[in-house]
């Protein structure tokens, strides 16, 4: 499958020592969520117009991820044209073009993209169910949206999906 980069071609090593930061357009919301879970700083705005996305990507030094060929062809933008409609293939396109995630998995909020902070159980006692408080010892807080995360029963399913992204195996939907 052909990958398309727009001016200038880039790789993690040619990004002017800026941390890798991505901006996904409105067609790539599901991809944005999974990239965050994998450890990529990925903002997403499904209401932004093409000019707004272009301006924001330039202003914030972000690589714009898009399936829109016209948007990807705009001059002066670092873009990655996502070819596939299949999530697993989209993730691999990003990984192949930009390299591994710069942050550890599960270190960013999948909802708002802010880096998560570890908090003691006592700090979330009034915000989680009693059973969770009794059975979990590690909690993470998102300072952006206020959500609390812990290793729930869904975590292994998420890890399995992330493994499929990196190994190229088929994913179960």
Which of 63, 69, 78 is closest to 24 using CA atoms?
63
Measured in Å, how far apart are the chain's first and last C-alpha atoms?
23
Q: What is the C-alpha radius of gyration for the chain, rounded to an integer number of angstroms? A: 17
Confidence of residue 161 (pLDDT cuts 50, 70, 90): confident
Q: Write out the DSSP string of 1-41.
A: ---EE-SSP--GGGSTTPPPEEEE-GGGHHHHHHHHHHT-E
49 neighbors 21 (Cβ within 8 angstroms): no
Evaluated on CA atoms 94, 68, 113, 128, the torsion sign reads negative
CATH topology classification for 4-98? Rossmann fold (3.40.50)
- Predicted confidence (pLDDT) per residue in 11-42, tens digit: 443 455 678 999 999 999 999 999 999 999 99
Domain ranges of the chain: 4-98, 117-167
Mean pLDDT of the chain: 87
- Predicted confidence (pLDDT) per residue in 60-100, tens digit: 999 999 999 999 999 999 999 999 999 999 999 999 999 99
| Element housing 44 (H / E) | strand 41-44
Q: What is the pTM of this model?
A: 0.84
144 neighbors 166 (Cβ within 8 angstroms): no
């Amino acid at each position: 499958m052909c990958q398309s980069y727009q001016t200038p071609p880039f790789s993690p090593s040619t990004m002017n020592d800026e941390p890798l930061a991505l901006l996904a357009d409105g067609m790539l919301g599901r991809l944005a969520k999974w990239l965050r879970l994998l450890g990529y700083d990925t903002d997403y705005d499904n209401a932004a117009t093409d000019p707004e996305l272009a301006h924001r990507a330039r202003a914030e030094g972000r690589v714009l991820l898009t399936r829109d060929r016209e948007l990807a062809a705009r001059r002066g933008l670092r873009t990655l044209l996502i070819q596939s409609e299949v999530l697993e293939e989209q993730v691999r396109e990003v990984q192949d073009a930009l390299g591994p995630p710069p942050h550890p998995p599960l270190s960013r909020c999948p909802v708002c993209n802010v880096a998560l902070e570890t908090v003691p159980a006592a700090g979330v006692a009034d915000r989680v169910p009693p059973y969770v408080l009794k059975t979990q010892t590690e909690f993470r807080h998102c300072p952006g949206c206020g959500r609390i995360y812990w290793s729930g029963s869904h975590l292994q399913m998420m890890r399995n999906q992330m493994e499929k992204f990196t190994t190229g195996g088929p994913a179960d939907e």
